[in-house]
Amino acid sequence: MTTSRMRAEIGEQPAALRRTIDALLPRVPDLAALAAETRQVLFIARGSSDNAAVYGRYLAEARAGRLATLGAPSIATAYRRRVDLSGVLAVAISQSGKTEEIVQTMDWAADCGARTVAVTNGAGSPLAEAAEVALVTDAGDELAVPATKTYTTQLAALAVLGVGLGADVDAAELRRVPDEVERLIARTEESAALPEIVAALAAVPGVVVSGRGLAFGTALELALKIKEACYLHAMGLSYADLLHGPIAVVDAETPALLVAADDGPTLPGTVALAERVRSAGAQAFTVGGGARLAEAGDAALPGPALPEWVAPLGLIVPGQILVENLARRLGLDPDVPRGLNKVTQTD
């Protein structure tokens, strides 16, 4: 079978991450200078970039002790309301750097008093040119519509941002990520669980994808990829929200796909959720979470051997491989999902 462009770009992630981390870690002093003049962080993004922003938010709050929020671009572009953003660091995230709504919202934030950072793969793009500090990722050209290497390099840029914000982390751990992602790609494709999970998901109309904390953005991104490339109904939820009612949707026709780092305070709850899903007669498939989560589910894909704060950079990779395999199993072209373009413009 011909290798898809999506699968080729998944395999390019270790090199893309290595280039990006090498290029951006020296920018920490620039970020620290802006951080010293601000108190909280406002993330501005859409789509996969918004899922990356969820990771950035948890990193800023859980490890840097800074209040962080996800912005609503419509306040700037549709409602055209001024908001006092003094003391705010606005971080605009766009793979291309050309999405007009994101560029306009960052300009609006600056006009409202915010300092600005751009995260983009588009060197020389309008977003990069307009920001005070531009964290330009080095993913190279991405031809498949579903974001893979541009997403993980965005996460790398946000990890560097976290270091610049003063996060209680060891920045040297970031340099372990590329080698670990390379190992994880090989382990996932060798896993007997991969075809098992693909077959199970190909036989159902939908799936619930859940994680919490620093892994929540991974759950949202994996659910988005399943919807984009496989056309299944995929609901991305924090497991806390899932337990507050929607747990009822998990049944024999709607399995759960649970993601977690191998350590951290949200792992026990993810394990308990897997056990609850199975006790209700539904299937629970897992990504990451080490032996504890693997034992609690029906079939498990490996996760990265990385500390929780950088685990999301690897945790999404088995999910990407799962989605690419599932799309082909369903007879779909993962490179060109219907109705989507590489750059999406919104009103």
For residues 165 and 264, membership in a common domain is answered with: no
The tally of domains found in the chain comes to 2
Asked whether residue 338 is assigned to any structural domain, the reply reads no
DSSP conformational letter for 132: S
Backbone phi and psi for residue 281, each to the nearest 5 degrees, phi listed first: 90, 10
Q: Give the end-to-end CA distance of the chain in Å, rounded to a whole number.
A: 40
pLDDT in tens, 160-182: 999 999 999 999 999 999 999 99
pLDDT in tens, 249-260: 777 888 999 999
Asked whether residue 253 is assigned to any structural domain, the reply reads yes
Task: Dihedral sign for Cα 211, 287, 303, 143, please.
Answer: negative
Map residue 193 onto helix, strand or coil. Answer: helix
Q: Which residue has the tokens 């996969």?
A: 48
Task: Dihedral sign for Cα 36, 41, 45, 49, please.
Answer: positive
The answer to whether residue 265 scores a pLDDT higher than 90 is yes
For residues 11 and 114, membership in a common domain is answered with: yes
User: Which of 113, 147, 169 represents a domain boundary (last residue)?
Assistant: 169
Q: Which residue has the tokens 């800023």?
A: 60
The answer to whether residue 39 scores a pLDDT higher than 70 is yes
Distance CA 170, CA 176 (A): 11
For residues 186 and 164, membership in a common domain is answered with: no
For residues 153 and 34, membership in a common domain is answered with: yes
The pairing of strands 40-44 and 68-70 is parallel
For residues 15 and 160, membership in a common domain is answered with: yes
pLDDT score of 201? 97
Map residue 344 onto helix, strand or coil. Answer: coil
Q: What angle do CA 268, 271, 272 make, to 5 degrees?
A: 85
For residues 17 and 157, membership in a common domain is answered with: yes
Domain extent at residue 235: 179-329
Q: What angle do CA 139, 42, 135 make, to 5 degrees?
A: 25
User: Which of 169, 188, 222 represents a domain boundary (last residue)?
Assistant: 169
pLDDT score of 246? 56
The answer to whether residue 59 scores a pLDDT higher than 60 is yes
- Mean pLDDT in the chain? 94
CB 285 within 8 A of CB 257: yes
How long, in residues, is the chain? 347
Distance CA 49, CA 71 (A): 12
For residues 149 and 211, membership in a common domain is answered with: no
Domain containing residue 97: CATH number: 3.40.50.10490
For residues 76 and 187, membership in a common domain is answered with: no
For residues 252 and 162, membership in a common domain is answered with: no
Distance CA 84, CA 62 (A): 25
Asked whether residue 340 is assigned to any structural domain, the reply reads no
DSSP conformational letter for 95: S
Asked whether residue 342 is assigned to any structural domain, the reply reads no
For residues 220 and 96, membership in a common domain is answered with: no
Asked whether residue 345 is assigned to any structural domain, the reply reads no
pLDDT score of 321? 98
Map residue 238 onto helix, strand or coil. Answer: strand
For residues 122 and 95, membership in a common domain is answered with: yes
For residues 149 and 207, membership in a common domain is answered with: no
